[in-house]
Amino acid sequence: MRAKGVLLAWVALAGLGLAQQTLTLVGAGATFPYPLMAKYADEYTRLTGGKVRVNYQSIGSGGGIRQFLEQTVHFGASDAPLDDGRLKEVRERFKTQALNLAYALGAVVPVYNLPGVKEPLRFTGPVLADIYLGKVKTWNDPALQELNPGVKLPPLPITVVHRSDGSGTSYVFTEYLAKVSREWAQKVGRGTSVEWPVGVGGKGNEGVAGVVRQTPGAIGYVELTYAKQNSLAYGAVQNKAGRFLLADLASIKAAANVPLPGDMRVSLTDTAAPDGYPIASFTYLLLYENLSVNEAVKSEAEARALVEFVKWILTEGQRYNEPLTYGALSPVAQQRALALLARVTYEGKPLGKEIVGR
Partner 1 sequence: MKRLYTHFGDRVFALVLLLLALGVVALALLMAYELYRGGSLALGRFGLLGFALGREWDPALEKAFGAWPYILGTLIVSLSALSLSFFPALAAAIFAAEYAPRWLAQILNFLLDLMAAVPSVVYGLWGIFVLAPWLRDKLQLPLYLWAAEHAPGLLPLLGVPTGYGLMTAILILASMIVPYTAALARDAIALVPREHREAAYALGATRWEVMRLAILPLARGGILAGAFLALARAVGETLAVTMVIGNSHKLPYTLFGGAATMPSVIANEFTEAVEDLHLSALIAVGFLLFLVSMAVNFTAAYVLRRQERLVKGVL
Residues contributing to the site for partner 1 (CB under 8 A)? 31, 59-63, 65, 80, 159, 164-168, 174, 187-196, 199-203, 207, 210-211, 214-215
How far apart are CB 170 and partner 1 at their closest, in Å?
A: 8
How far apart are CB 140 and partner 1 at their closest, in Å?
A: 18
How far apart are CB 61 and partner 1 at their closest, in Å?
A: 5
**Element (DSSP H or E) covering residue 6:** helix 2-21
Task: Give the distance from CA 120 to its chain's centroid.
Answer: 25
How far apart are CB 216 and partner 1 at their closest, in Å?
A: 10
Of 169 and 330, the one with the shorter C-beta distance to partner 1 is 169
- Cβ atoms of residues 29 and 80 within 8 Å: no
Of 148 and 169, the one with the shorter C-beta distance to partner 1 is 169
Tally helices (H) and strands (E) across the chain: 14, 11
How far apart are CB 207 and partner 1 at their closest, in Å?
A: 6
The sign of the CA dihedral 259, 267, 185, 197 is: positive
Strands 98-112 and 159-163, bridge-based pairing: unpaired
Residues 355 and 306: their CA atoms lie apart, in Å, by 11
How far apart are CB 269 and partner 1 at their closest, in Å?
A: 15
Of 48 and 100, the one with the shorter C-beta distance to partner 1 is 100
Of 48 and 167, the one with the shorter C-beta distance to partner 1 is 167
How far apart are CB 211 and partner 1 at their closest, in Å?
A: 6
Residues 244 and 275: their CA atoms lie apart, in Å, by 9
Of 4 and 92, the one with the shorter C-beta distance to partner 1 is 92
180: left (phi over 0), alpha (psi -120 to 50) or beta: alpha
How far apart are CB 191 and partner 1 at their closest, in Å?
A: 3
Residues 278 and 237: their CA atoms lie apart, in Å, by 7
Residues 100 and 78: their CA atoms lie apart, in Å, by 9
Render 166-213 in DSSP notation, one character per residue: --HHHHHHHHHHHHH-HHHHHHT--SSS---SS-EEESHHHHHHHHHH
Of 163 and 336, the one with the shorter C-beta distance to partner 1 is 163
Of 202 and 278, the one with the shorter C-beta distance to partner 1 is 202
Residues 92 and 103: their CA atoms lie apart, in Å, by 27
How far apart are CB 79 and partner 1 at their closest, in Å?
A: 8
Of 159 and 318, the one with the shorter C-beta distance to partner 1 is 159
Of 210 and 350, the one with the shorter C-beta distance to partner 1 is 210
From the number of C-beta atoms within 10 Å of its C-beta (0-12, 13-18, 19+), residue 193 rates as middle
**Cβ neighbours of 316 (radius 10 Å):** 12
**Contacts (Cβ under 8 Å, ≥6 apart) of 95:** 290, 293
- Mark out the alpha helices in 51-134 (DSSP H runs): 61-70, 84-94, 125-133
